[in-house]
Amino acid sequence: MSTHTGYIRAVAAALEAAGVPVADWRADDRRPRDGWIPFDLVRQVRLHGRVVWDHDQAGAGWDEDTGWWLLTVDDPYGRGVRTTKKLDLPRVAAPGSVVRAVAWPAGLEVPGLREPRADLDFPRHRAGVPDPAFEAALRRYAHVAQSPVDESWNAAEGRG
């Protein structure tokens, strides 16, 4: 399992717990390492009684060189229009910080969200360059409870 797998899993679990249902999550070992958490748009409508993300697809992505972003996809007439919005977060933002950054543009409130971990930023970190402090920050999430995980040669995945 890659060092960032637990981190992506922890953010997916925090989103789910805060009322942002996730369809699944994925952590890939390519360079730069990255992760993807697509939102379950159908469950969000059932949970909130309204359309939360008025798009065909929406989710949060992370990579070790740029941090977190929101991706929305609209597919009018098969054009696959993608919009990416960088989230103003540190590189290894605490899961609760990611939840707040995702919930705000969706108009979702996340009252009572407590975050036991601090955000950690690594502005000089680059994929493939040894960075023990960055790896230690990711390892803080290694103990997150296992979801159904499929560990293949280059990725881990699970359901929220």
| pTM of the predicted structure, to 2 decimals | 0.87
d(CA 139, CA 27): 14
Return the half-sphere exposure (C-beta side, CA atoms, 13 A cut-off) of residue 137: 18
Place of tokens 């023990």: 132
Contact 93, 118 (CB under 8 A): no
Instruction: Give how far Cα 85 sits from Cα of 7, 60, 112, 132, Å.
Output: 21, 10, 26, 29
* Residue ranges covered by each domain of the chain: 5-144
**Beta strands, E only, 42-154:** 57-63, 67-74, 81-86, 150-151
Contacts of residue 142, defined as CB under 8 A and 6 or more positions apart, other chains included, come to 1, 3, 6
Digit-by-digit pLDDT tens for the chain (160 residues) are 688 999 999 999 999 999 999 999 999 999 999 999 999 999 999 988 999 888 999 999 999 999 999 999 998 787 778 999 999 999 999 999 999 999 998 888 887 777 778 999 999 999 999 999 999 999 999 876 554 333 333 345 565 4
